[in-house]
Structure 1
């Protein structure tokens, strides 16, 4: 699987449609919950959370490795507490319209790429 291909696609797709906190200077801002959900859809694994700047920050753990596609939104390093979370909690950080937008646009770009994921990732 090519994680960097997914990271590139996420940076292309993130917008005000996927988070009301998005800015051109900080595209990952506010994208953690919705991104954790879409990454979980594609790669499975688990959703975890940690506290950052007074709120929950969601990320994925796949085969014991942390994948935090939205870490760049923060100016300070993240201390990962690895608190188990779930889809329901991550969804509280987003809404149906944002989730649907991000998932549909990520899948569209994935289909345009030259098979960036192994078949068993779906």
Structure 2
């Protein structure tokens, strides 16, 4: 696959993830009824849920910016890990969180080859 195709794929996946995380954060920040019901089902109050939305949007912004993308990716990975653990604790389905966690890792590896090199200890990729 050419470098141009790899770059386009990475940014396309980034946009898809950005849309999903933006929608999720927007529901938390606007105190949407559905979001508040979900929050109360896992024992979170409205202000805590809103704060989680702020953390989510900050992490997403860091992920989108190329210079801070690796940090943003790690924060979003941690965020989704917490979501998975919370869903497991309350016997709720985890499939969507696992899918987005996997998609996030794939996107991070495509956009940031140095991350893949460090995790899998591969030889340095020529750019």
Q: Fold-level match, TM-score > 0.5?
A: no
Q: TM-score, normalised by structure 2?
A: 0.30
Structure having the higher strand fraction is 1
TM-score normalized with structure 1 length: 0.31
Q: Bigger relative contact order, structure 1 or 2, given CA contacts below 8 A and separation 6+?
A: 1
